[in-house]
Amino acid sequence: MYILITAATSFEIQATLDFLKNNPEKFQSHEISFLITGVGMVATSHSLMKAICKKKADVILQAGIAGCFTENPLSETLLIQQDSFADMGVIESNQFKNIFDLNLADKNDFPFSNGSLINPNDKLLNIFPLEKAVGITVNEITTSKERIAWHKQNNAPIVESMEGAAFHYVCLQEKIPFLQIRSISNYIGERDKTKWKLKESIAALNEKLILITEEILKHDEVYFRI
């Protein structure tokens, strides 16, 4: 089994990297690589495609922290079942229109399903007992009350990131089994970082990431193929 573990920044998954380096006997019959893509959709897409072209993974994991729209507890870890490009479009007459509203793309053209990028791999989504969530991906972190309300009404997300949808898009296009793992560091709109749980969310993220990786490695490379 060859697993590629990706994150936007190294500090988000450093504890997992250290664990694997310090416990090589646990993974000696498998190959695990790490990829730090950089922040944002463009960096994620470029870095991920370069890695895939070099060697195609059997499973790709994306791990990171995220802001939360709901009352889920801070530092909770979630599996993102579907994601979308939430701010790609235009504002006309004080109303946001996405690329599907503008007829620039069909919301059901592959890899989209009703405008979302859905992980179809139930085996991976059920590999570990965590809540499955809807995510959105943005270029600009959401801070205004009006925009928060719009996202809640139109996308019904639990979390927001700057990379998730790009990750889903690439993996779906390349037909590679994948799983996006997010831990909640803060509530959307809260900019007082003393109220964030950054340290706790990263610790929870890495704890679950290690356990999920160990569960995946109990299977062979064909188990997760669709």
Confidence of residue 20 (pLDDT cuts 50, 70, 90): very high
CB atoms within 10 A of CB 197: 18
CA-based R_g, the chain, Å: 17
Residues 6+ apart with CB under 8 A from 155: 84, 86, 134, 136
Distance CA 2, CA 222 (A): 11
CB atoms within 10 A of CB 7: 26
Q: pLDDT by residue (tens digit) across 196-218? A: 999 999 999 999 999 999 999 99
Question: Which residue, chain included where needed, has tokens 């969530």?
Answer: 133
Quick one: pLDDT at residue 144? 87
Please name each of the domains of the chain with its CATH number.
2-216 (3.40.50.1580)
Quick one: pLDDT at residue 226? 86
Q: pLDDT by residue (tens digit) across 181-192? A: 999 999 999 888
Q: Specify the length of the chain in residues.
A: 226
> Lowest-pLDDT range, 44-53, 92-101, 187-196?
92-101
- Give me the mean pLDDT over the 145-168 stretch: 94
